Structure 1
Amino acid sequence: MARSRTPEDEGASRVEGEEAPNAAWFKPVMVGLMLLGLVWILVYYISGQQYPIPGITAWNLAIGLGIALIGFLMTTRWR
């Protein structure tokens, strides 16, 4: 006769999966994206709005903020 699963058994397996550490590349990528977004915005302002991509004007801000936002969103998954 097969043993039936109890709610405690299911809860124990979920906890183990949630506490698994991130891969080794996760933290460097997360911090790298946040810094890349910051550098993108700084270069845009310091260069007098000529770089990093000339001709798209304020969209450079959106690109920099988007890159940094991806890094910040990754912090919600960091363990």
Structure 2
Amino acid sequence: MPKSKVRKKTDYTINPASRTPVKVKAGPSSSIYVGVMLGLMIFGLAWLIVYYLAATESTYGAEGEPLHWMYNLSAWNFLIGFSFMVAGLLMTMRWR
């Protein structure tokens, strides 16, 4: 039976160019950016809390009451509240 050839394995080398750190040229975020980011998240949470606590038909949902418009929005309040919170959370990705 013939003997098989032994192949020499090539060593795996790491490309040194891919191991160099990358400098970030942008500085830290301004305090206005952080304030808007946190404000959006808190405003969205406050919107949902007000909807749950105050915009019921028995108290403020009746016509002529201060929050009857919020009661008329019904399930759209969830979209509005969560949209503000998601916008604030998306801003955290750019926060430095």
Asked if these proteins are the same fold (TM beyond 0.5), I'd say: yes
Aligned counterparts of 1:42 and 1:54: Cα–Cα separation in 2 = 13
Counterpart residue number, 2:32: 25
Q: Which runs of 5+ in 2 are unaligned?
A: 1-16, 62-66
Structure whose alpha-carbon radius of gyration is higher: 2
The code of the aligned residue for 2:37 comes to M
Counterpart residue number, 2:7: none
Aligned counterparts of 2:41 and 2:84: Cα–Cα separation in 1 = 7
Counterpart residue number, 2:23: 15
Aligned counterparts of 1:71 and 1:16: Cα–Cα separation in 2 = 23
Counterpart residue number, 2:82: 65
Deviation at 1:31, TM superposition (A): 0.7
Q: TM-score, normalised to structure 1's length?
A: 0.71
Secondary structure of the equivalent of 1:28? helix
Deviation at 1:56, TM superposition (A): 1.4
Q: TM-score, normalised to structure 2's length?
A: 0.60
Task: Say how many residue pairs are matched.
Answer: 68
Q: Which runs of 5+ in 1 are unaligned?
A: 1-7
Structure richer in helix, relative to its length: 1
